[in-house]
């Protein structure tokens, strides 16, 4: 059979129902094969859109997301989405076309021999789990099986296979192809010290990271939370993980969550990387009086310590969660009351209009919905103020922080789920991949676009206010950043448009059936607060609390109740 047909049959065997890509000369055989099989091939309008859509598909289904592109600029346009999948542990397979083998420059000292020839494998190796050029059709099965295994094994992530055009069209004998046989891997670890540390703690806290979500252990985690009776905080990417959470930690996180961690004597970190945005630049200031347990499937992450004496456990978080169900529950209810008191003391702090908009909008988004956000102020407002309901899932571009993620990711989520997706974005981010509105229109996808338009690149504008004497170059209209008429844009794509200017505009009629383009217009300068000044401890965020209130919260204990 033809090799490109074999690839499509392989995808079908892996239960892949949808792939994303953009046409190009070197993938024409793959395109032709896709058209002959029961796999939906969704054309995006930029390869970056295809990559983000594959991410959304994978995040929604838990299966591998697949995107394809031609050689040269097609392949390089995938890179931002590849990086997004790498840093956020999203299982994805990217297939790129390459020039015919006989056109390849090989070891010649030329930059390029074939038209659009680009060594994409060397370019993406640092941001993939595996990247390889398929040198012969006889190795095709091995590479495909290896790629899907690696994408899902351990800490999940992207792989890339670069396939020359002559290999796509080659005739092969499927039964004669060599397969891939993985070596058995074990992540077993001694977990007994966890129980000892919990038993000896008086103020423990669980820090839940996105590793719990990517491992498919969200339901199990909530069972553990109910069993252990230990307060929970999360990372930004996991704000949807637990309805009992006190919020997410970090530079833009919840004051309550940051104070609870600061006052704890044991932090149980489950699938959380503890990067600078999460725990601050001075790592020793994070939970300064606490013992830290780190559970990571990626052993490399454990090399970046938060505390020198932390307990590092290289294990699958699912195994650790199973073990935690056997640990006796925490019994100091006074500590839980202290956490509640901290939340009550801070309840009226930091309320601002954009956060209020997000909170009100979230009231009308039904349970079990999928939400995506872009990167910038809109992302933080959603993380801070979205009132998560049962089975709702929120997907961010976390580690890579890519503007332009929300719209195409929402497309992948909607195609994967067959249901409504609510895509938050800013007026800057939407223009990164605005062309993908045509996919929504073409396929009649029920994606609800919620655009926060403050006529600015708000987060950078705030930096300029803080550090550059209000020199708003390139971030506001007077500095050179301008927007189109988004209502006219929505009309051009045939997507119903609504405008929101006040809280009264947000009601049960806002989200109607099908695609919607909802523009939330904000005329005032916008900010993300609370915000941590570089080098300060997490709980001392700006705008600074009155020192009497700060000291009161830091001194709260069971004797104060």
Residues 258 and 367 in one domain: no
Confidence of residue 456 (pLDDT cuts 50, 70, 90): very high
CB 376 within 8 A of CB 457: yes
- Characterize 267-292 residue by residue with b for buried, 16 or more Cβ atoms within 10 angstroms of its Cβ, and e for exposed: bbbbbbbbeebbbbeebebbbeebbb
Which residue, among 129, 45, 36, has the nearest Cα to 443 in the 3D structure?
Answer: 45
Residues 358 and 334 in one domain: no
Residues 255 and 329 in one domain: yes
Q: What would the mean pLDDT of 365-391 be, rounded to a whole number?
A: 96
- Residue 560 confidence (pLDDT): 79
Of 327, 345, 363, which marks where a domain is finished?
345
What's the CA gap between 69 and 91, in Å, rounded? 18
Cross-strand partners of 293: 268, 311
Q: Could you tell me if residue 548 is inside a domain?
A: no
Residues 25 and 130 in one domain: yes
Domain that holds residue 382: 353-521
Confidence of residue 348 (pLDDT cuts 50, 70, 90): confident
Q: Could you tell me if residue 446 is inside a domain?
A: yes
Q: CA-CA distances (angstroms) from residue 52 to 47, 96, 183, 359, 402? A: 9, 15, 31, 26, 10
Determine the length of the chain: 561
Residues 309 and 414 in one domain: no
**pLDDT tens track for 57-102:** 999 999 999 999 999 999 999 999 999 999 999 999 999 999 999 9
CATH of the domain at 398: 3.40.50.970
The 3-state DSSP class for residue 109 equals coil
Of 345, 378, 399, which marks where a domain is finished?
345
Residues 121 and 204 in one domain: no
Residues 127 and 250 in one domain: no
Of 312, 345, 378, which marks where a domain is finished?
345
- Residue 559 confidence (pLDDT): 82
Q: Could you tell me if residue 529 is inside a domain?
A: no
Average pLDDT of the chain to the nearest whole number: 95
Confidence of residue 184 (pLDDT cuts 50, 70, 90): confident
- Residue 281 confidence (pLDDT): 81
- Residue 414 confidence (pLDDT): 98
Q: What would the mean pLDDT of 535-547 be, rounded to a whole number?
A: 93
Percent of the chain with pLDDT over 90: 93
Cross-strand partners of 424: 450
CATH of the domain at 218: 3.40.50.1220
Report cis status (omega within 30 of 0) of the bond before 91: no
**pLDDT tens track for 250-285:** 999 999 999 999 999 999 999 999 998 899 888 888
Is residue 553 predicted with pLDDT exceeding 80? yes
Residues 204 and 73 in one domain: no
Q: Could you tell me if residue 181 is inside a domain?
A: no
Q: Categorise residue 522: left if φ over 0, alpha if ψ from -120 to 50, beta otherwise.
A: beta
What's the CA gap between 436 and 321, in Å, rounded? 40
Residues 266 and 128 in one domain: no
Residues 338 and 205 in one domain: yes
Confidence of residue 558 (pLDDT cuts 50, 70, 90): confident
Q: Could you tell me if residue 546 is inside a domain?
A: no
Residues 163 and 234 in one domain: no
Q: Could you tell me if residue 540 is inside a domain?
A: no
Residues 390 and 311 in one domain: no
Q: In total, how many domains does the chain have?
A: 3
Q: Could you tell me if residue 506 is inside a domain?
A: yes
Report cis status (omega within 30 of 0) of the bond before 530: yes
DSSP-derived letter for residue 326 is T
Q: What would the mean pLDDT of 357-362 be, rounded to a whole number?
A: 97
Three-state SS string across 349-405, please?
Answer: CCCCHHHHHHHHHHHCCCCCCEEECCCCHHHHHHHHHCCCCCCCEEECCCCCCCCCC
pTM reported for the whole predicted model: 0.96
Among 140-144, 283-287, 315-319, 362-366, the range scoring the smallest mean pLDDT is 283-287
Non-local (6+) Cβ contacts of 268 within 8 A are: 194, 198, 204, 205, 206, 207, 230, 293, 295
Q: Could you tell me if residue 556 is inside a domain?
A: no
- Residue 534 confidence (pLDDT): 83
The 3-state DSSP class for residue 481 equals coil
Is residue 419 predicted with pLDDT exceeding 80? yes
What's the CA gap between 120 and 133, in Å, rounded? 9
Q: What would the mean pLDDT of 24-42 be, rounded to a whole number?
A: 97
């Amino acid at each position: 059979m033809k090799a490109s047909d074999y690839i499509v049959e392989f995808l079908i065997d892996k239960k892949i129902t949808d792939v994303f890509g953009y046409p190009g000369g070197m993938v024409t055989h793959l395109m032709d094969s896709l058209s002959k099989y029961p796999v939906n091939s969704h054309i995006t309008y930029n390869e970056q859109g295809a990559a983000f859509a594959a991410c959304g598909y994978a995040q929604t289904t838990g299966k591998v997301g697949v995107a394809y592109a031609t050689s040269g600029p097609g392949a390089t346009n995938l890179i931002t989405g590849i990086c997004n999948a790498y840093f956020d542990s999203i299982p994805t397979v990217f297939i790129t076309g390459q020039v015919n083998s006989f056109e390849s420059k090989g070891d010649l000292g030329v930059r390029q021999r074939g038209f659009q020839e680009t060594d994409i494998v060397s370019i993406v190796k640092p941001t993939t789990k595996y990247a390889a050029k398929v040198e012969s059709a006889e190795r095709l099965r091995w590479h495909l099986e290896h790629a899907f295994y690696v994408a899902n094994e351990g800490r999940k992530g992207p792989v890339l296979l670069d396939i020359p055009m002559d290999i796509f069209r080659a005739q092969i004998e499927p039964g004669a192809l060599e397969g891939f046989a993985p070596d058995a891997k074990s992540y077993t670890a001694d977990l007994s010290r966890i129980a000892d540390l919990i038993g000896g703690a008086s103020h423990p806290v669980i820090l839940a990271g996105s590793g719990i979500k990517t491992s498919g252990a969200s339901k199990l985690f909530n069972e553990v939370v109910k069993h252990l009776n230990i307060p929970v905080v999360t990372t930004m990417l996991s704000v949807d993980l637990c309805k009992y959470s006190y919020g997410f930690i970090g530079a833009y996180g919840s004051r309550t969550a940051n104070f609870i961690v600061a006052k704890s004597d044991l932090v149980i970190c489950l699938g959380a990387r503890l990067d600078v945005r999460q725990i601050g630049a001075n790592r020793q200031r994070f939970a300064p009086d606490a013992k830290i347990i780190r559970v990571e499937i990626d052993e490399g992450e454990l090399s970046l310590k938060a505390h020198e004496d932390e307990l590092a456990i290289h294990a699958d978080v699912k195994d650790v969660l199973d073990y935690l169900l056997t640990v006796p529950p925490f019994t100091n209810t006074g500590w839980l009351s202290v956490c509640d008191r901290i939340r009550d003391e801070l309840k009226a702090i930091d309320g601002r209009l954009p956060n209020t908009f997000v909170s009100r909008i979230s009231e009308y988004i039904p349970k079990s919905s999928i939400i995506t956000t872009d990167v910038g102020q809109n992302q933080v407002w959603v993380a801070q103020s979205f009132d998560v309901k049962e089975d709702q899932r929120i997907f961010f571009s976390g580690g890579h922080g890519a503007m332009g993620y929300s719209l195409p990711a929402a497309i992948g989520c909607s195609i994967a789920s067959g249901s409504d997706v609510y895509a938050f974005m800013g007026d800057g981010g939407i223009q990164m991949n605005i062309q993908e509105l045509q996919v929504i229109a073409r396929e009649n996808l029920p994606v609800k676009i919620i655009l926060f338009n403050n006529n600015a690149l708000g987060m950078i504008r705030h930096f300029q206010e803080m550090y550059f004497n209000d020199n708003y170059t390139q971030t506001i209209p007077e500095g050179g950043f301008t927007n189109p008429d988004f209502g006219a844009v929505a009309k051009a794509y045939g997507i119903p448009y609504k405008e929101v200017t006040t809280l009264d505009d947000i009601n049960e009629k806002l989200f109607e059936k099908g695609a919607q383009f909802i523009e939330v217009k904000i005329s005032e300068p916008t900010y993300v607060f609370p915000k941590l000044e570089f080098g300060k401890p997490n709980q001392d965020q700006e705008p600074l609390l009155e020192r009497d209130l700060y000291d009161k919260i830091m001194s709260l204990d069971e004797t104060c109740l």
